[in-house]
Chain A
């Protein structure tokens, strides 16, 4: 009996061995045939990013497009991105393999990098020659179009934007008998309020500092500082104003007005009433409402000001690949992807702020929570773009590393920023 089992086992193993070798040999060509057997149809590739929900909204627009173009097959790839580098990596690998995406949803953070490497098609002529697109262009916030323009040429049509305002918990302000903040309030007022709102026992912090690049930017822009020089050619991380901003933030950390900025999840903490104030855009609102926050619980206000009124904006735009072989089709698809229908659906998804004033100030789309929801669009109009030079990854990582060194007590703000500046300079030379 045992002997027989052994034989059977041996035979099975030998069989699988031969099979797997045969599979190795033949599969390559087999799969390839399948690809081309799709037959006659032209293929357009769309590279998108975001959640499954956002992918579905894009898919609906794509279906409308293929409804009018029955000879075209559109393949959408949606990448769940935690970082822009991941997205670019995916893009590069698709391009290298000959599956170059024709239409791409690109974040502001990656735009200059893509343009620098000739990956994108300038859209100015296309937009001017098309009625729908030129009308749309007129409705975009000027600042947003600037963000997707390099050297005066426009490379993307925005489908959504994101900004930062300061959210605050009304009940905590009431309890501490502090007036609600108003637009135009100052850093000093912010600090004073935050101190009063922080509870000794650690159950409530006055403010939740989130140590990520976009979320930190209002602290630079309201202090008239910017991580790069005006033409984006070099980092400018250790300017006097940047140092002042970091010193201010470090003060918040040292005084325990904010929970540990390196590992805390401030958005969850705000939802569960452990923070009195937190900076965010629109992307948290749905989550917070799901968690039970209502208009009575919280509201938002513009970012506190030190030297000038400002905020930050980022966003995403649909672009066309410079190497597309189906330019006309790609343009048609692009038009479907910035159609009113798509923009509305995307905005209704609740993550992004719609890119045009009419939609972003429409309470049907934006909802009515919190009371000052229209403040979000105001923030977009006064904001500066998130600093995204061609070397975005380097400056993002370099600055965050420097800040972590400050917040972990390893270095003084000035020294940390000097080092970060030197590291980014040497990385990009």
Chain B
């Protein structure tokens, strides 16, 4: 929102009223269709969720009863919500930032250091996992993560690392999810950031190099600022994605062992689809929504300092 406000400030100043009116007409023509779809398919369901969060709702019969803040209180008093919240923040930090950071590094690597044909080859390969359905690749990764017969532990063993209980220890289950998530999604981040890198003036980079700027300085001072709108987009996408992380966990660990890898959305799904307690599930999602809203606001606010348009 703040970004939009900033854009308005930078927006060009109208010279004629006539143009202004035409522009307004065009603005509504362009935005109203998607806004209408948004209202019908997103906003109304969300309002419904808000209402249900104050009710005891029977999914089988549709009967409901107002219970005030009871659903919220029961969630806030449940130690399981707290542990899911901690896990979610862990994922947000590591999956969100890991995907963006590694995506940026890969994008720079495949941009134009090596000959074009080699770059295209690597881009394709790095991007390919993003195209495949998680439900299926998880079956492979489950085999890779096996403690005794797993591929990963086999190679770690060659380096003298003792067997890691990826899926069956409370400490490592989140790491396993992180690895799967980054493997699956980093190519996407790479490609999106790569589009931004195309705006980097190669002559400027060379000039900087001649002036004695080292690789990191060139990266920090030239590449990141120019590609910042794309990096910002990828960061928002990855962070909100990580706050809602669900599928990667579901297919790999199911949230276990115990609750050790369970995220908030997994808990929402469990309350809704396993316990059929829609009131509690709705209340939890509203709390999650609040959390995501705050994090996003912070990002938009922070973006003023490092995201440069034009």
* Interface residues, chain A, with chain B CB atoms under 8 Å away: 21, 24, 83, 85-86, 88-89, 92, 95-96, 117-119, 202, 259-264, 391, 393-394, 396-397, 400-402, 404-405, 407-411, 423, 426-427
Contact = CB atoms under 8 A, between A and B. Distances in A.
Contacts of B169: 408-409
A265 to B, nearest CB: 8
Which 6 A-B pairs have CB atoms at the shortest separation, nearest pair first? A393-B274, A404-B257, A117-B60, A405-B258, A408-B257, A263-B167
B31 interface: no
Contacts of A408: 165, 168-170, 257-258, 260
Interface string B66-80: 000000001000101
A397 to B, nearest CB: 6
Contact of A426 (B78, B165, B256): B78
B258 to A, nearest CB: 4
A407 B168 contact: yes
B252 to A, nearest CB: 9
A410 B170 contact: yes
Interface stretch (B140-148, B178-186, B293-301): B140-148
B58 A264 contact: no
Main secondary structure on B side of the interface with A: loop
B168 A117 contact: no
Nearest to B252: A263
A262 B148 contact: no
Interface in B134-169: 142, 145-148, 165, 167-169
Residue with the highest number of chain A CB atoms closer than 10 Å, among B148, B165, B168: B168
Given A24-B37, A117-B58, A405-B258, A394 B274 contact: yes
Contacts of A261: 168
Interface string B55-69: 000111110000000
A260 B146 contact: yes
A394 B142 CA distance: 25
B276 A88 contact: yes
Given A83-B274, A118-B60, A260-B165, 18 more contacts: A24-B37, A88-B276, A96-B62, A118-B61, A260-B146, A260-B147, A260-B148, A262-B167, A393-B274, A396-B274, A397-B270, A400-B256, A404-B256, A407-B257, A408-B170, A410-B260, A411-B258, A426-B74
B256 A401 contact: yes
B274 A85 contact: yes
B247 interface: no
B214 interface: no
B283 to A, nearest CB: 14
A119 B256 contact: no
Nearest to A117: B60
Interface residues of B, number: 31
Contacts of A89: 273
A395 to B, nearest CB: 10
B277 A427 contact: yes
A244 to B, nearest CB: 21
Given A262-B256, A408-B168, A410-B257, A423 B61 contact: no
B33 interface: yes
A401 B145 CA distance: 20
B274 A263 contact: no
Contacts of B168: 260-263, 404, 407-408
A411 B259 CA distance: 12
A147 to B, nearest CB: 21
B19 interface: no
Contacts of B146: 260, 263-264
A38 B218 CA distance: 68
A92 B274 CA distance: 12
B275 A391 contact: yes
A263 to B, nearest CB: 4
A426 B147 CA distance: 34
Interface string B250-286: 0000001111100000000010011111000000000
A426 B73 CA distance: 13
Contact of B145 (A96, A202, A263, A405): A263
Nearest to A89: B273
Contacts of B274: 83, 85, 393-394, 396-397
B256 A427 contact: no
B148 A202 contact: yes
A239 to B, nearest CB: 21
Contacts of A119: 60
A120 B148 CA distance: 47
B258 A410 contact: yes
